[in-house]
């Protein structure tokens, strides 16, 4: 699979929200029911149709439309409540609005719509099509700080229980030996189970080489769960200078061990996955990893036990999400065509790279850097 084919998986395939559809939604929001649309800017971010609406009076609202096959109003409203509580505590993220009926979702036919305030700051990574690193070291350090601040703020909010779904980036199966839990996992994910059976894939065989990583993470199965962002990367941050002015897109948020977001941030930004898939297997950025960890540990110094688990968590943090992406593909009433990519590259390719010599070297580097940053504190 060449570079352009890999990037196709992040294209938005959902039919866009039209101006007339957006106008109808605005009439359902008390703060916007009298507003007239001046401009509508579609979002290029994948997995749902969305747009930023600017009204004639200068007010902004971000509309996002989901399909009921993929997520429930209850799940979305739980996430909205979490985000609004973050905003109430001073964390920089746009609040969600309530509609006329008092809920933070609006159901219309097969669709569920949410509405949030426009994000403050500059969307300078809007057109980034892959998980490339921040453009400056200062931004990388700041992203690390934001991840740590989010961790601290999230641990003050009691998360609800959520049934697993395609719009969640969670780790559960791989916290400890996955094989004894596999039958229950597949029973809870019948769409995935059918895909694996029809494709002739044996998940147990694919998980076998990952068991040492998973067993190292056994202690995380016992820690309290809190909401994590689940998709923490530079494209989901708005900026003012070198500071994050808004963190957006909590669409994959769900309860996880608190260390999870740091692992996702490092996995997204310090490894050049596209180049690795092209055969350049030693493609990663030590300086980016160092800067992300520097920022994080300025705010939240990692305890020794988390330092030892950070590498294995990076190795596995994309695995279960890749399996849920298969379910997303099969349940979505469009043709995103990502299920085979999710299995071959997202699940198999990413996790198995950490078993190669370059992958092991990367994990050793992460462990060394995390220990150095802890000593600096």
Q: 99-143 pLDDT, tens per residue?
A: 999 999 999 999 999 999 999 999 999 887 667 899 999 999 999
pLDDT on residue 127: 82
pLDDT on residue 336: 65
Q: Is the pLDDT score of 71 beyond 70?
A: yes
Q: Is the pLDDT score of 30 beyond 70?
A: yes
pLDDT on residue 44: 82
Q: Tell me the average pLDDT across 366-375.
A: 92
Q: Tell me the average pLDDT across 261-267.
A: 98
Q: Is the pLDDT score of 79 beyond 80?
A: yes
State what percent of residues in the chain have pLDDT above 90.
89
Which one is predicted more confidently, 260 or 132?
260
pLDDT on residue 338: 86
Q: What is the pLDDT of residues 281-293, one digit of tens each?
A: 999 999 999 999 9
Q: Is the pLDDT score of 36 beyond 80?
A: yes
pLDDT on residue 333: 92
Least confident range from 19-28, 42-51, 72-81: namely: 42-51
**The model's pTM:** 0.96
pLDDT on residue 9: 63
pLDDT on residue 58: 96
pLDDT on residue 53: 98
Q: Is the pLDDT score of 350 beyond 90?
A: yes
Q: Tell me the average pLDDT across 152-179.
A: 96
pLDDT on residue 374: 82
State what percent of residues in the chain have pLDDT above 70.
96
Mean pLDDT of the chain: 94
Which has the closest alpha carbon to 148: 63, 67, 57, 229? 229
pLDDT on residue 334: 85
pLDDT on residue 6: 60
Q: What is the pLDDT of residues 199-255, one digit of tens each?
A: 999 999 999 999 999 999 999 999 999 999 999 999 999 999 999 999 999 999 999
Q: Tell me the average pLDDT across 273-279.
A: 91
pLDDT on residue 335: 78
Q: Is the pLDDT score of 294 beyond 80?
A: yes
What is the set of domains in the chain, with CATH numbers? Answer: 10-117 (3.30.200.20), 137-376 (3.90.1200.10)
Q: pLDDT tier at 2 (50, 70, 90 boundaries)?
A: low
Q: pLDDT tier at 180 (50, 70, 90 boundaries)?
A: very high
Cα separations (Å) of 59 from 26, 114, 280? 11, 17, 47
Q: Tell me the average pLDDT across 334-344.
A: 86
């Amino acid at each position: 699979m060449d570079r352009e084919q890999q990037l196709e998986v992040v294209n938005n395939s959902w039919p866009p929200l039209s101006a007339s559809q957006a106008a109808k939604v605005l009439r359902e929001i008390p703060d916007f029911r009298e507003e007239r649309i001046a401009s509508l800017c579609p979002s290029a971010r994948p997995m749902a149709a969305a747009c930023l609406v600017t009204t004639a009076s200068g007010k902004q609202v971000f509309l996002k439309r989901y399909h009921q096959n993929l997520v429930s109003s209850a799940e979305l409203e739980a996430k909205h409540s979490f985000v609004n509580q973050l905003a109430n505590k001073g964390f920089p993220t746009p609040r969600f609005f309530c509609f006329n009926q008092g809920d933070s979702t609006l159901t219309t036919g097969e669709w569920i719509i949410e509405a949030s305030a426009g994000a403050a700051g500059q969307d300078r990574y809007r057109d980034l099509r892959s998980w490339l690193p921040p453009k400056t070291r200062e931004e990388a350090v700041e992203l690390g700080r934001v991840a740590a601040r989010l961790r601290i703020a999230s641990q003050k909010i009691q998360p609800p229980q959520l049934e697993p779904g395609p719009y969640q980036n969670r780790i559960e199966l791989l916290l400890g030996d996955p094989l004894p839990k596999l039958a229950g996992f597949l029973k809870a994910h019948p769409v995935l189970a059918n895909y694996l059976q029809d494709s002739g894939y044996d998940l147990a065989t694919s998980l076998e080489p990952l068991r040492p990583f998973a067993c190292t993470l056994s202690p995380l199965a016992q820690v309290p769960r809190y909401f994590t962002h689940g998709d923490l990367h530079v494209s989901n941050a708005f900026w003012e200078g070198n500071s994050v002015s808004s963190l957006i897109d909590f669409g994959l948020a769900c309860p996880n061990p608190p260390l999870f977001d740091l692992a996702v941030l490092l996995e997204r930004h310090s490894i050049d996955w596209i180049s690795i898939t092209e055969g350049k297997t030693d493609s990663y950025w030590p300086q980016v990893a160092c800067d992300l960890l520097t920022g994080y540990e300025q705010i939240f110094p990692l305890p020794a036990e988390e330092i030892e688990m950070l590498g294995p968590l990076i190795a596995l943090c994309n695995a279960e999400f890749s399996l849920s992406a298969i379910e997303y593909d099969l349940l979505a009433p469009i043709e995103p065509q990502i299920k085979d990519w999710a299995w071959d590259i997202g699940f198999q390719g990413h996790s198995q790279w950490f078993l190669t010599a370059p992958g092991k070297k990367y994990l050793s580097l992460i462990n060394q850097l995390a220990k150095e940053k802890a000593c600096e504190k």
